[in-house]
């Protein structure tokens, strides 16, 4: 799209009043585009029952036949691929804990905090690759290859875990796997925001989040099956077979992705979309006022770092990460639980399968809360989710409570994962006008959160301190309160900005103009200094 065309779209999208149009030169009046709700609030006038039933109606009647066909194809090519990919990532991420509890700790002589360090090295790889890979993903020519390429490398490296003989080898493997996971989370949030409208994105994000819970659930069942059915086959322990099975089911998805993943709307037309559908995909994003990919310059960094979106979104996810650790540690509690005679209560199979209920609750609550965003305000959803998390952490901090109440608390922690779907959906909406800002902010959110993952688990949740973790649960309580406050602040700032933009009218056009001017000035500067 030319600069003048981009300028016209920006004016039309904002909705300029007649007084302003009268000031424009004759013949330059922009074509008006229908104003499109970007937050879902205005469309609630259609009635809550409409929106509630809309949870299950993914292709509503107001869509044209062509648009319904387009969205169905996107659901198959993007959403289905990303769901399976996310499922496999969580499957393997959880499997390292299940393998540790099912013989790996004894086979490799891991009797310290090695499990923490496996997660730390994984997090370091994940953190360092965030911004480079997300910026690469924002380039139309590269976007369609990054997802399947990372999946292929993930599958190959996963196989190598089955041959590890020392903790040092696993540290290196986990670091590489962490880098490969970048597209499956922050990349997917970016891609969903590039193709789906505000009305559609929360439903898809909620469904996508289910796959993480299912991956964690299935991991427990897979480990139990591997331990019971494959332990000793071919001279390999059951935990080694677990990683072999992971690799076998990962590689086919990578090859499918090379043929079907579409990249971005501005990428080359994929084979399964018609010309009309491909053009409609771009038009839908223009109606959403979503920014198209632009040249990355020094002005890009200045533009991103001078907005509040970046800092609030990153802080929000960092604090969320500080509240999410207990969800992963129920298996260590079960592994060490003893009766009054000092005998272990739970078998290895139970240690692997009982925590899957936490993942199931996380999956269901994530889907439900993300789907309800169009029915009720996001504010009570944040309040309800974190109230459950606060209660669970208080119970586990007290610790000396009936066993049944401990189970209620651990299962309640699964609800905390619902924050993720709402936070990243909100971040997508906050940054939708600037493609590069959206990519960098998504990456920085994960970098900030996972930077904490590099050291907090060792400090707050050392394996040798299981299962009571007094310091960890003590800190969870104020962190949950702080997370609630930051989420509500982000909602308030976003709504205030939307009201200000609507009042200004020309704000979007001015933003496009200033961005182009900044880029032009930087090009001139580079030419003069070359």
**Which CATH number belongs to the domain containing residue 281 in this structure?**
1.20.1250.20
Structure confidence at residue 295 (pLDDT): 66
pLDDT in tens, 496-514: 998 888 887 744 444 544 4
DSSP 143: H
Same domain, 74 and 144: yes
- Within a domain: residue 143? yes
Structure confidence at residue 220 (pLDDT): 64
Q: Is 93's pLDDT higher than 80?
A: no
Domain hosting 224: range is: 63-287
- Within a domain: residue 334? yes
pLDDT in tens, 12-25: 333 333 333 344 44
Greatest mean pLDDT among 168-177, 218-227, 425-434, 519-528 lies in: 168-177
Structure confidence at residue 185 (pLDDT): 78
Structure confidence at residue 175 (pLDDT): 92
pLDDT in tens, 474-498: 999 999 999 999 999 999 999 999 8
- Within a domain: residue 456? yes
3-state secondary structure of 287: helix
With bands split at pLDDT 50, 70 and 90, how would you rate the model's confidence at 290? low
Same domain, 224 and 154: yes
Same domain, 81 and 177: yes
Distance CA 443, CA 437 (A): 10
- Within a domain: residue 22? no
390, 269 in Cβ contact below 8 A?
no
Q: Is 98's pLDDT higher than 90?
A: no
Domain boundary among 257, 287, 317: 287
Structure confidence at residue 507 (pLDDT): 47
3-state secondary structure of 528: helix
Same domain, 261 and 327: no
Domain boundary among 244, 259, 287: 287
Distance CA 469, CA 462 (A): 8
Same domain, 201 and 322: no
**Backbone angles phi and psi of 79, in degrees to 5:** -65, -45
Same domain, 258 and 398: no
Same domain, 515 and 417: yes
- Within a domain: residue 216? yes
421, 212 in Cβ contact below 8 A?
no
pLDDT in tens, 397-442: 999 999 899 999 999 998 988 898 889 889 888 888 887 788 888 8
- Within a domain: residue 17? no
Burial 313-329 (b: 16+ CB within 10 A, else e): bbbbbbbbbbbbbbbbb
pLDDT in tens, 326-368: 666 788 888 888 877 878 888 877 887 888 888 788 888 888 8
DSSP 344: B
Same domain, 367 and 261: no
- Within a domain: residue 161? yes
Distance CA 330, CA 356 (A): 10
Q: How many domains does the chain have?
A: 2
Could you check whether the bond before residue 302 is cis, i.e. omega within 30 degrees of 0? no
Same domain, 317 and 276: no
Same domain, 449 and 476: yes
Q: Is 211's pLDDT higher than 50?
A: yes
- Within a domain: residue 265? yes
96 HSE (CA, 13 A, CB side): 28
- pTM comes to 0.67
Domain boundary among 223, 253, 287: 287
Same domain, 283 and 302: no
**Residue ranges in 182-230 assigned as alpha helix (H):** 186-195, 198-229
pLDDT in tens, 364-393: 888 888 878 877 889 999 999 999 999 999
Same domain, 140 and 199: yes
């Amino acid at each position: 799209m030319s600069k003048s065309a981009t300028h016209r779209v920006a004016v039309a999208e904002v909705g300029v009043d007649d007084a302003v149009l009268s000031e424009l030169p004759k013949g330059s009046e922009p074509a008006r585009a229908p104003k499109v709700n970007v937050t879902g609030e205005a469309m609630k006038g259609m009635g809550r029952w409409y929106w509630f039933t809309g949870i299950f109606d993914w292709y509503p009647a107001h869509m044209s036949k062509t648009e319904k066909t387009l969205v169905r194809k996107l659901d198959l090519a993007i959403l289905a691929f990303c769901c399976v990919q996310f499922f496999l990532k969580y499957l393997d991420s959880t499997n390292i804990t299940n393998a540790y509890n099912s013989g790996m700790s004894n086979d490799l002589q891991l009797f310290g905090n090695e499990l923490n360090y496996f997660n730390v090295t994984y997090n370091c790889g994940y953190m360092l690759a965030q911004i480079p890979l997300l910026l690469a993903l924002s380039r139309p020519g590269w976007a369609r290859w990054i997802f399947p390429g990372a999946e292929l490398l993930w599958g190959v490296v996963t196989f190598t875990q089955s041959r590890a003989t020392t903790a040092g080898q696993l540290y290196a493997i986990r670091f590489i796997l962490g880098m490969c996971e970048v597209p499956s989370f922050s990349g997917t949030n970016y891609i969903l925001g590039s193709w789906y409208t505000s009305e559609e994105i929360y439903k898809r994000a909620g469904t996508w989040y289910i796959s993480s819970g299912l991956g964690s659930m299935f991991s427990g069942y897979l480990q139990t099956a591997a331990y019971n059915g494959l332990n000793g086959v071919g001279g390999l322990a059951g935990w080694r077979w677990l990683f072999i099975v992971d690799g076998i089911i990962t590689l086919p998805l990578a090859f499918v992705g090379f043929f079907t993943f579409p990249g971005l709307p501005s990428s080359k037309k994929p084979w399964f979309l018609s010309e009309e559908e491909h053009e409609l995909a771009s038009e839908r994003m223009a109606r959403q006022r979503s920014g198209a990919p632009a040249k990355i310059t020094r002005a890009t960094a200045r533009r991103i770092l001078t907005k509040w979106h970046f800092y609030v979104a990153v802080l929000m996810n960092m604090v969320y990460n500080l509240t999410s650790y207990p969800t992963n540690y129920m298996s260590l509690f079960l592994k060490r639980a003893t009766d009054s005679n000092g005998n272990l209560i739970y078998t290895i199979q139970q240690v692997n399968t009982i925590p899957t209920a936490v993942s199931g609750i996380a999956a269901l609550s994530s889907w439900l809360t993300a789907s309800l965003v169009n029915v009720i305000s996001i504010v009570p959803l944040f309040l309800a989710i974190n109230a459950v998390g606060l209660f669970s952490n208080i119970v586990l901090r007290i610790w000396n409570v009936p066993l049944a109440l401990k189970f209620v608390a651990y299962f309640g922690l699964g609800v905390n994962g619902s924050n993720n779907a709402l936070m990243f959906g909100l971040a997508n909406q906050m940054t939708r006008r600037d493609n590069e800002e959206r990519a960098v902010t998504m990456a920085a959110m994960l970098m900030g959160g996972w930077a904490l993952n590099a050291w907090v688990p060792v400090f707050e949740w050392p394996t040798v301190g299981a299962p009571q973790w007094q310091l960890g649960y003590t800190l969870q309580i104020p962190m949950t309160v702080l997370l609630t406050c930051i989420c509500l602040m982000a909602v308030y700032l976003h709504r205030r900005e939307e009201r200000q933009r609507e009042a200004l009218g020309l704000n979007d056009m001015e933003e496009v103009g200033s961005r182009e001017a900044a880029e032009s000035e930087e090009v001139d500067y580079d030419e003069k200094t070359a």
